[in-house]
Amino acid sequence: MHKLNNLAIELNGILKDSVAYGFLSPMGQRMYFPKGIVAQSDEAKEKAKLYNATTGLATEKGEPFHLTDIFSAFRDGVFRPSQIFSYAPGGGDKELRAIWQREMIAKNPHLEGKKISMPIVTAGLTHSISLIANLFVSPEDEVVCPDLYWDNYELIFQDLIGARMKLFPFYDEKGGFNTEGMKKALYDVKGDYARIILNFPNNPTGYTPSASEAKAIVDAIVEVASSGKKVMVLSDDAYFGLFFEDDVEKESLFAYLADAHENIFAIKGDAATKEEMVWGFRIGFITYASKGFTDAHIDALQKKTLGAIRCTVSNCDRPGQSLILNAYKNGKSYLADKEHLFSVIRSRYKAVHKAVSKHKDETVLTPYSFNSGYFMGFSTNGHDAEELRKYLLEKYSIGTINIVGRTLRVAYCSVEEEGLEDLIDKVYQAAGELWS
């Protein structure tokens, strides 16, 4: 094998007595943040007061050269060219990261006073998950996951990394989250290290555990950790905040796991993508925590993550970071716009519930319990969901998604409320025509 870089050896030495160490993949072991151009440029930014000849970024009068046609698309006087055209600092805009962390704690009060890392900016949540997979999952490792999941996990964990998804049924017999199945799957993972990814509000089901279910999930993970197994839990919080029922857990599992047990390595993957309604910007975050982490452990993990970003995309979207930051700091309708999205989606959610309940006596499709997020799903009860998807598209001009052949996902977030009852009626009608 290629000899480890001295910086990687140093970081591995720091991490050796932390829970994260044993999860490192071969790539994770090799990774470090080079003291190369980026680090030297950062140092120069502070000290090179006379001439700063470090970065490959062409400047004039202290601002980057730029196309006026692009800059003029931004409103006069809001941004300096450097806020749009420069590289963002490694790890992301410091102010944005600090605000993201502050807001994370405000939205997850159980994080108050807990040691968590400063979120690192990534190129979207997909990138966050992919970075975590590269750093902490090795070929042949098992990644525990409920059997209704975002299909990109398969591409990332199985096809990119060569690991295996270890699935357990998402729902228990009462239509709640299958905590027992999760616990069994974690215990069944071979070896001393278990990895799990959990996504709530869930894509594709639209389900988030209730507060008591969330507690049971955390207790189950703590139980596995107490048995001596080390558990890495990646919380995919893509749809965080879209909770439409009172009894739904409103905090990320990360908030509870961050200091739950020395053997738990908690990672939060989240993004501005859906939380701030900026799908086309590519801005996500990674935040680390564990009960036993010291500042040095966190710093070493950050450096490995920065290295993994440096060798893939090098740096993440600067205009997007500036635009979000500006909305946070100077926005006049930030909260109102977010509230608007929330109330519109919640109203669609209610309309879908009503529409689905009309068909409660039909057995051709079974809706999964849903209470949050953008989606709801139907079990096709042994029939091929792809057949239904195609039929809906061809006969009814309705687009839906087939998930692994046995679930039809309906993204009600992208259909106006007036059409939802008709949409659901037609889904049932089409399934009836095919299979009754």
Ligand X SMILES: Cc1ncc(COP(=O)(O)O)c(C=O)c1O
Catalog residues that contact ligand X under the rule CB under 6 A: 124-126, 150, 199, 203, 236, 238, 271, 273, 284
Q: Name the residue nearer to ligand X (CB basis): 125 or 420.
A: 125
Q: Name the residue nearer to ligand X (CB basis): 283 or 364.
A: 283
CB of 316: closest distance to ligand X in angstroms? 11
Using only C-alpha atoms, the chain has a radius of gyration, in whole angstroms, of 23
Q: Name the residue nearer to ligand X (CB basis): 19 or 234.
A: 234
Q: Name the residue nearer to ligand X (CB basis): 125 or 231.
A: 125
CB of 126: closest distance to ligand X in angstroms? 3
CB of 206: closest distance to ligand X in angstroms? 11
What lies within 8 Å, CB to CB, of 86 at 6+ separation is 57, 64, 318
Rounded CA separation 34/27 (Å) = 15
By CB neighbour count within 10 A (0-12 exposed, 13-18 middle, 19+ buried), where does 331 fall?
middle
Which alpha helices (H) appear in 165-248, and where do they start and end?
179-188, 211-226
Q: Name the residue nearer to ligand X (CB basis): 90 or 146.
A: 146
State CA 213 to chain mean position distance.
Answer: 21
Q: Name the residue nearer to ligand X (CB basis): 125 or 132.
A: 125
Instruction: Give the CA distances from residue 210 to residues 13, 153, 154, 202, 431, in Å, rounded to whole numbers and listed in that order.
Output: 41, 24, 27, 13, 31
CB of 281: closest distance to ligand X in angstroms? 9
Rounded CA separation 120/41 (Å) = 19
Rounded CA separation 196/178 (Å) = 14
The H or E element that residue 60 is part of is: strand 59-60
- Tokens 């994260």, residue? 20
Sheet of 142-146: strand order equals: 120-122, 284-289, 264-271, 230-236, 193-199, 142-146, 164-168
Rounded CA separation 345/416 (Å) = 9
CB of 122: closest distance to ligand X in angstroms? 8
Q: Name the residue nearer to ligand X (CB basis): 39 or 411.
A: 411
Q: Name the residue nearer to ligand X (CB basis): 224 or 271.
A: 271
Q: Name the residue nearer to ligand X (CB basis): 271 or 298.
A: 271
CB of 271: closest distance to ligand X in angstroms? 4
Token duo for residue 414 = 């992208």
CB of 30: closest distance to ligand X in angstroms? 25
Rounded CA separation 342/247 (Å) = 17
CB of 124: closest distance to ligand X in angstroms? 3
CB of 201: closest distance to ligand X in angstroms? 9
